[in-house]
């Protein structure tokens, strides 16, 4: 019996950056990996419909293989409008190919079009690779935070998070 030789094939995989739709909501859970954030995804989607947030996705074959959430400033936040970026992730097998960088730049364009002058993002202190990526893209640390927050998971349990983080900011040109 002859050994089966591995064979490589190359497939074109176009990626589209766009705002999430209702159909993306279950898929954003990535087959259970992020099921615990179900209520947060739904709330963010409702806020997107009201124009207060955007859920940006990197779509490959109608599946969100990457995402980045944007929370826009509220009317009572004062004259300087800051948008907060969070829940930034790309599926492991798609990392290191520029998708995250392009998602960030897509978000910054939208933030500029919405007349915000700053983009903020927080990064866990134990995630130096992500911090390096942000600094390379022009973000600078301006504060640190205890990163304490809580949420209700998909089973109705209250979950507490404690993730000390750096806060970074970047000035955005208005579009």
> Closest approach of Cβ 156 to ligand COA, in Å?
26
Q: Which is nearer to ligand COA, 25 or 60 (CB)?
A: 60
> Closest approach of Cβ 128 to ligand COA, in Å?
9
Residue whose entry in the numeric block shows the structure tokens 């947060």: 40
Q: Binding to ligand COA (CB under 6 A): which residues in 30-89?
A: 88-89
Classify residue 107 as exposed, middle or buried by CB count within 10 Å of its CB (0-12, 13-18, 19+): buried
Q: Which is nearer to ligand COA, 110 or 123 (CB)?
A: 123
Q: Which is nearer to ligand COA, 129 or 173 (CB)?
A: 129
Interface residue with ligand COA, options 36, 52, 82, 95 (CB under 6 A): 95
> Closest approach of Cβ 75 to ligand COA, in Å?
27
Interface residue with ligand COA, options 28, 90, 110, 172 (CB under 6 A): 90
Residue nearest to ligand COA (CB): 100
Q: Binding to ligand COA (CB under 6 A): which residues in 101-140?
A: 101, 123, 127, 129-130, 132-133
User: Residues 139, 108: contact at Cβ < 8 Å?
Assistant: no
Beta strands in 48-171 (DSSP E): 53-60, 63-71, 82-90, 118-124, 140-145, 148-152, 158-162, 165-171
Q: Which is nearer to ligand COA, 38 or 89 (CB)?
A: 89
Encode burial over 154-167: b for 16+ CB neighbours within 10 A, e otherwise. Answer: eeeeeeeeeeebbb
The span from the CA of 63 to the CA of 74, in Å, is 30
Encode burial over 88-104: b for 16+ CB neighbours within 10 A, e otherwise. Answer: bbbbeebeeeebbeebb
Q: Which residues bind ligand COA (CB under 6 A)?
A: 88-90, 95-101, 123, 127, 129-130, 132-133
């Amino acid at each position: 019996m002859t050994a089966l030789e591995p064979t490589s094939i190359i497939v074109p995989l176009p990626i589209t950056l766009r705002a999430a739709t209702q159909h993306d909501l279950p898929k954003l859970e990535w087959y259970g990996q992020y099921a615990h954030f179900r209520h947060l995804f739904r709330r963010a989607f409702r806020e997107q419909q009201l124009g207060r947030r955007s859920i940006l996705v990197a779509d490959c074959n109608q599946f969100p293989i990457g995402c980045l959430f944007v929370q826009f400033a509220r009317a009572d936040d004062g004259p300087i409008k800051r948008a907060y970026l969070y829940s930034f992730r790309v599926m492991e097998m798609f990392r290191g190919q520029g998708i995250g960088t392009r998602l960030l730049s897509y978000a910054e364009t939208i933030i500029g079009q919405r007349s915000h002058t700053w983009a903020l993002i927080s990064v866990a202190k134990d995630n130096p690779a992500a911090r390096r990526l942000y600094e390379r893209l022009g973000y600078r640390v301006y504060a640190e935070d205890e990163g304490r927050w809580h949420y209700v998971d998909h089973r109705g349990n209250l979950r507490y998070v404690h993730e000390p983080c750096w806060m970074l900011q970047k000035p955005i040109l208005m579009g």
